[in-house]
Amino acid sequence: LLRKHPDIEAAICDIVLGAEDGTSVATQMQQMMPSLRIVYMTGWAGHHRDVNTLQAMGNIVLFKPLDLKKLLKTIRSAYKEL
């Protein structure tokens, strides 16, 4: 997707993606495109260690169900940090 759309500036990635975990996918995306901003999301409280680690590293983590206004505000905030 990133190769076909190099103008992508941000991605929303679930921490749990089935066969792969979202943090691995996000890491791969950022290796391909270092300036890519990632907003993580999760709907499972059992990921508290992953969430704490991601937040401690300066990442944004939102909880499902997502509130559209909060999501848009978060994405705008991520752009300001660029």
What pLDDT digit, counting tens, does each position of 1-44 carry?
888 888 888 889 998 887 888 889 999 999 999 988 889 998 87
Using DSSP, state whether 56 is helix, strand or coil: helix
At 46-80, the pLDDT tens digits run 666 778 888 888 888 888 899 899 889 888 887 67
CB 75 within 8 A of CB 10: yes
pLDDT recorded at residue 3? 85
pLDDT recorded at residue 50? 78
CA–CA dist 7, 23 (Å, integer): 21
Side chain identity at residue 51, one-letter code:
V
Q: Indicate the residue type of 49.
A: R
